[in-house]
Amino acid sequence: MKKKKFTLDSVIDYDYDLIGICSHHSDYRLMWSLNSILNLGLTKEKDLFLVEGPKKVGDMEFPSYYYKDVLDYTFYRVIKNKFGAHTLISEANNIDYFLFVQNGSNKDMKINLINKLRECDAVLGVFDLDPAGFNSTQYIDLN
């Protein structure tokens, strides 16, 4: 009798929008510009953002900035893509920073946010990214 083989496919539900940012400025200078143009209050978190990477890589840590908008329950997090010997999303190694927006599911809000980012002098490029298109995003837990 032939053995039956079952495969388990897990579907990851990404509860955030992902925006890639290219900038030649340091992180604190970029955050100052983003706070000014977007009217946010992004502040550096004391602890580095921990990502439990694949077994061969292990845990990785990255500097991050966070802001919680209590009026519309939207959470903003900017994480530097490259820190030390690690890359947060290795498939997009040309991106300097990633902006994660949680609970901002309004499509018009996202388009407005991207357009404002493009107006920022500290930003060289802005990219609307699909987190499902990158294998590395399965290791990122924003909660």
pLDDT value of residue 66 = 94
Q: What is the pLDDT of residue 7?
A: 66
Burial grade of 108 (CB within 10 A; 0-12, 13-18, 19 or more): exposed
The structural domains of the chain, with segments of one domain joined by +, span 16-139
Summarize pLDDT for 93-105 with one digit per residue, the tens: 899 999 999 986 6
pLDDT given for residue 77 in this prediction:
93
Residue-level pLDDT at 61: 87
Residue 98: what pLDDT?
A: 95
- pLDDT tens figures, 68-80: 988 888 999 999 9
Please tell me the predicted confidence (pLDDT) of residue 1.
66
Report the C-alpha gap between 81 and 96 in whole angstroms.
5
Residues of the chain with pLDDT under 70: 1, 6-13, 54-57, 104-105
Kindly tell me the burial class for residue 16, based on how many C-beta atoms sit within 10 Å of its own C-beta (0-12, 13-18, 19 or more): buried
The pTM assigned to this predicted structure is 0.85
Residue type, 139: Y
Residue-level pLDDT at 56: 64
3-class DSSP state of 65? strand
